[in-house]
Structure 1
Amino acid sequence: MVSLVGARRFAKRALGEVLGMIERHRQRRSLAALDDHLLRDVGLSRTDARREADKAFWQE
């Protein structure tokens, strides 16, 4: 039988993973929207940004 503490721990961890995936997706969309000048400021090329933005949301 699963303890209530174990179930809560699992739910908290699962929620954290889902929220992390959502945040990665949001950040990748924002990165893809940057213009070339801003990408150069952060040291990325358009190709680098596109490669990162094309990753699936579950990929780190």
Structure 2
Amino acid sequence: MTSPGGARRFVERAFGEVLGMIERHRQRRSLAALDDHLLRDVGLSRTDARREAEKAFWQQ
């Protein structure tokens, strides 16, 4: 049997993972929306940004 504290930690960790996936997805969409000038400012090419933006939300 699982202790209530163990179940709670599991739910908190799972919830944190889901929030992380949502945040990665949001950041990748934002990266894809940057123009070439801004991408150069952060040291990325359009190809780099596209490659990152095409990753699935669960990939790190």
Q: Same fold (TM over 0.5)?
A: yes
Q: What is the aligned partner in structure 2 of residue 19 from structure 1?
A: 19
How much identity, in percent, do the aligned residues show?
A: 87
Secondary structure (helix, strand or coil) at the match of 1:31 reads: helix
TM-score, normalised with respect to structure 2: 0.99
Deviation at 1:42, TM superposition (A): 0.1
By how many angstroms is 1:31 displaced?
Answer: 0.0
Runs of at least 5 residues in structure 2 that lack an aligned partner in the other structure? none
Letter in 2 for 1:53: A
Shift of 1:41: 0.2
Q: State the TM-score, normalizing by the size of structure 1.
A: 0.99
Question: Following TM superposition, where does structure 1 have runs of at least 4 consecutive aligned residues deviating by more than 4 angstroms?
Answer: none
Residue 57 (structure 1) shift: 0.1
